[in-house]
Amino acid sequence: MRKNSVAVRKVVGKLVTHLILMIGLVIMIIPFLWMVTTSLKEIWEVFTPQMQWLPETPIWQNYVDAWNYAPFGRYYLNTAFVSISVVVLQLTICSLAAFALSRLEFPGRDIIFYGILGTMMLPGTIMLVPSYLVLHWLGWIDTYWALIIPAVFNAFGIFLLRQFFMTIPKDLDDAAIIDGCSRFGVLWRMIIPLSKPALAAIGLMTFMGQWNSFMWPLIVTNSENMRTITVGISMFKDQFSNMWTLMMAASTTATIPLLILFFFSQRFFIEGITLTGMKG
Amino acid sequence: MLGNIPQHHCEPKVEEVFGVAVNTPQRRRWSQRTEQTIIGYLCLLPTFAYAAVFLVFPVIFSLVLSFRRWPMFGPKKFVGWENYIRIFQDDLFWLGLKNAGRYTIAFVPLSIITSLFVALLLNTKIRGINFYRTGYFIPTITSAVAVAVVWTFLFDTNYGLVNDWLTRLGFERVGWLSDPKVAMWSIVFFSIWRGLGYNVVIYLAALQGVPVQLYEAAKIDGAGWWAQFRYITLPMVSPTTFFMFIMGIIGSIQVFEQIFIMTGGGPMRSTYVVFMYMYDYAFRYNEMGYAAAVGYIMAVLIFILTLINMKVTGKSVHYDQA
């Protein structure tokens, strides 16, 4: 009898868990489904009191129209170019710095390390205006430089890579050097290949951050040609404030690359977040 | 071949055997160290260059700027405390601060509670758990701007899906983003929705780090699920909670993007936050000195809040990871 009631309670508990998770999941996912179906509707289907989930016939033309109203192709290329450049440069700079801070011995090393960690405490509110002025003086406003260079440094990335590099036995360095490898050879041929998981996690988080970044591109770009996709969508929304079908088409195109990337590299995303979440 | 062996490997052995450093090749040792120093600083060169231009200079220059009238084009001059005095006398600044405060007070606790709750559910052994985890994570990876646009549409008073469902259930339409009383709550909801996946992953990692023996021991002692949660789970994840609390407050004071997209600070300035105030002065009115002063005030405020948090909340954090 008692055994039975325990089993029943377990089943009920599981059902309740499923139910709550399902309701939550609906809230998490429905906006995306609604985004996609709306992007395929006629505009009058949006402005009707009897809302339907699916369009009568899917209007693929919405995507063509959205891309014609604003140069989303160009936004796409800009975003991809900037994001990839930032990832490559950031990983290079972080790896070099982390290599120096973990494998080499030289005066001032630890002070530099704590200095780099300390920069994480600098509040963004202070940096916004003067960083903009620096770019202005460099003549970089409205260029790719302004979008890329300010993002290539990642203090936390340096910290993570340094911790990761330190788990690789130093004896391997010595062995490699005996075999005639240079210091940079050690980094490039040995440490980097061994650190692929950490590099992938940091790189993915950076890529995601860049692809989605909004405020900085909004501030440092003026011309249509330099806009990234997030700025493009924001401008599009201001211009065509009621063209929901086109806006949803634009949002869908902005969202899909990251979703694809996510489904192929979920593990690294989760790792990246778990790593960055341990900041505290 | 042997001549390439790094000295620091050989050296101790030589001393062990002979008692003194016999025949230590001083020159080689010195060059080893110099080599490492040169390469080390070479590797750090990009970092230094970046830090000088984009970190050290801006911090100092921002302070200088805040005591000057500095339009982008036109004459610049030193004005003493004038910027700060004007800011503190401006009702709009106080409104921005108040609204950012409202957002913070609502968002931080609600976001933490929701994340922990979902993480607890996702930490159970039920079928399809990976499916759920992926689903809850999706909003976090998508562009905040794109999903903010989607939610602006969902929250639309006349043609939004949310009100459509409400009216079907027999409720009145709500001006989710057009009613000054409601708009901030809609923004808070959106922020929780978007940040949930990220926070849940962090909490899951923390939950999985709690030793199972603790629960087993508690069960033997007759502790129910509430007692287990209250006396084991909660203290064991408190460092994570503390981390989220601090980061949440720092981020919330600076909330900007979702508000910029969804309401633009309206309706009737009910979502006008202090970061927007700074943005407007810097990039719409071109008063860089004034905006820099706002930035410094915000930074000091964030710093003080974080210190208070460390002192007050930090005490209740349980760091002993069994």
**DSSP state, B78?**
E
Determine whether the interchain pair A35/B296 forms a contact, defined as Cβ–Cβ distance below 8 Å: no
- Tell me which residue in A132, A174, A258 faces B6 most closely, judged by beta carbons: A174
Task: Answer whether residue B76 is part of any domain.
Answer: no
Give pLDDT tens digits for A69-85.
888 889 999 999 999 99
**pLDDT higher than 50, residue B235:** yes
List Cβ neighbours of B189 (8 Å cut-off, separation of 6 or more).
Answer: none
Maximum C-alpha span of chain A:
81
Q: Work out the angle at residue B203's Cα, subtended by the Cα atoms of residues B125 and A31, and round it to the nearest 5 degrees.
A: 85
DSSP string, A94-155: HHHHHHHHHH---TTHHHHHHHHHHGGGS-HHHHHHHHHHHHHHHT-TTSHHHHHGGGS--H
Alpha helices, H only, A179-278: 183-185, 192-194, 196-212, 215-220, 229-239, 244-264, 266-277
Helix (H, G, I), strand (E, B) or coil at B68: strand
- What pLDDT is stored for residue A252 in this prediction? 92
- What pLDDT is stored for residue B29 in this prediction? 55
Could you give the CA distance from residue A207 to residue B203 in angstroms, rounded to a whole number? 23
B296 chain-A contacts, CB cut-off 8 A: 125-126
Could you give the CA distance from residue B59 to residue B64 in angstroms, rounded to a whole number? 9
Same domain, B49 and B100: no
A93 chain-B contacts, CB cut-off 8 A: 46-47, 50
- What pLDDT is stored for residue B54 in this prediction? 93
The verdict on whether omega for the bond into residue B239 sits within 30 degrees of 0, i.e. cis, is: no
Task: Answer whether residue B26 is part of any domain.
Answer: yes
Token representation of residue A94: 């972080």
Same domain, B160 and B204: yes
B141 chain-A contacts, CB cut-off 8 A: 208, 258-259, 262, 269
List Cβ neighbours of B160 (8 Å cut-off, separation of 6 or more).
Answer: B153, B154, B176
Mutate to test the interface with B, among A46, A53, A126 (most CBs of B within 10 A): A126
Helix (H, G, I), strand (E, B) or coil at A18: helix
Determine whether the interchain pair B40/A100 forms a contact, defined as Cβ–Cβ distance below 8 Å: yes
- What pLDDT is stored for residue A11 in this prediction? 86
Q: Is B12 on the interface with A (CB under 8 A)?
A: no
Q: Tell me which residue of B81, B89, B106 sits closest to B255, measured CA to CA.
A: B106
Same domain, B95 and B156: yes
| Average pLDDT of the segment spanning A206-214 | 92
Last residue of a domain, one of B20, B40, B66: B66
Say which residue, A274 or B10, is predicted with more confidence.
A274
Q: Tell me which residue of A124, A255, A272 sits closest to A204, measured CA to CA.
A: A272
**pLDDT higher than 50, residue A279:** no
Number of domains within chain B: 2
Same domain, B56 and B95: no
Same domain, B48 and B90: no
**pLDDT higher than 80, residue B8:** no
Same domain, B121 and B207: yes
- What pLDDT is stored for residue A215 in this prediction? 93
List Cβ neighbours of A256 (8 Å cut-off, separation of 6 or more).
Answer: none
Same domain, B20 and B92: no
Q: Is B11 on the interface with A (CB under 8 A)?
A: no
Q: Is B305 on the interface with A (CB under 8 A)?
A: no
Say which residue, B61 or B30, is predicted with more confidence.
B61
Any bridge partners for residue A133, and if so which? none
Confidence bin at B19 (pLDDT 50/70/90): very low
- What pLDDT is stored for residue B28 in this prediction? 54
B135 chain-A contacts, CB cut-off 8 A: 25, 28-29
Task: Answer whether residue B73 is part of any domain.
Answer: no
Structural domain that includes position B206? 83-316
CA nearest to A275 within chain B: B202
Could you give the CA distance from residue A123 to residue B297 in angstroms, rounded to a whole number? 11
Same domain, B94 and B151: yes
Determine whether the interchain pair A254/B1 forms a contact, defined as Cβ–Cβ distance below 8 Å: no
Token representation of residue A146: 């302004």
Same domain, B257 and B222: yes
Confidence bin at A3 (pLDDT 50/70/90): low
| Average pLDDT of the segment spanning B202-219 | 89
Q: Which of A220-234, A255-269, B39-53, B168-182 has the lowest mean pLDDT?
A: A255-269
Task: Answer whether residue B239 is part of any domain.
Answer: yes
Average pLDDT, chain B: 86
Determine whether the interchain pair B150/A32 forms a contact, defined as Cβ–Cβ distance below 8 Å: yes
Task: Answer whether residue B261 is part of any domain.
Answer: yes
| Average pLDDT of the segment spanning A172-179 | 85
| Average pLDDT of the segment spanning A177-187 | 86
Q: What CATH number has the domain bearing residue B245?
A: 1.10.3720.10
B126 chain-A contacts, CB cut-off 8 A: 14, 17-18
- Tell me which residue in B61, B142, B161 faces A255 most closely, judged by beta carbons: B142
CA nearest to B145 within chain A: A230
CA nearest to A20 within chain B: B121
Helix (H, G, I), strand (E, B) or coil at B157: coil
**DSSP state, B184?**
H
Mutate to test the interface with B, among A37, A104, A129 (most CBs of B within 10 A): A129
- What pLDDT is stored for residue B10 in this prediction? 40
Same domain, B59 and B131: no
Minimal CA separation from B2 to chain A, in Å: 8
CA nearest to A31 within chain B: B150
Mutate to test the interface with A, among B39, B64, B196, B278 (most CBs of A within 10 A): B39
Determine whether the interchain pair A234/B247 forms a contact, defined as Cβ–Cβ distance below 8 Å: no
- What pLDDT is stored for residue A2 in this prediction? 58
Minimal CA separation from B160 to chain A, in Å: 9
| Average pLDDT of the segment spanning A35-64 | 85
Task: Answer whether residue B321 is part of any domain.
Answer: no
Confidence bin at A277 (pLDDT 50/70/90): low
- Tell me which residue in B124, B138, B288 faces A32 most closely, judged by beta carbons: B138
CA nearest to A123 within chain B: B299
Amino acid at position B164, single letter? D
Could you give the CA distance from residue A134 to residue A7 in angstroms, rounded to a whole number? 67
Q: Is B280 on the interface with A (CB under 8 A)?
A: no
Could you give the CA distance from residue A222 to residue A98 in angstroms, rounded to a whole number? 36
Confidence bin at B276 (pLDDT 50/70/90): very high
Give pLDDT tens digits for B64-119.
999 998 888 888 889 989 999 999 999 999 999 999 999 999 999 999 999 999 99
- What pLDDT is stored for residue A178 in this prediction? 86
Q: Is B40 on the interface with A (CB under 8 A)?
A: yes
**DSSP state, B29?**
H
**pLDDT higher than 60, residue B320:** no
Helix (H, G, I), strand (E, B) or coil at B160: coil
Task: Answer whether residue B75 is part of any domain.
Answer: no
In terms of DSSP bridges, do strands B68-69 and B77-78 run parallel, antiparallel, or are they unpaired?
antiparallel
Determine whether the interchain pair B40/A269 forms a contact, defined as Cβ–Cβ distance below 8 Å: no
**DSSP state, B72?**
S
CA nearest to B8 within chain A: A174
Say which residue, B224 or B199, is predicted with more confidence.
B199
Token representation of residue B228: 């287990």
Same domain, B45 and B188: no
- What pLDDT is stored for residue A85 in this prediction? 97
Same domain, B50 and B109: no
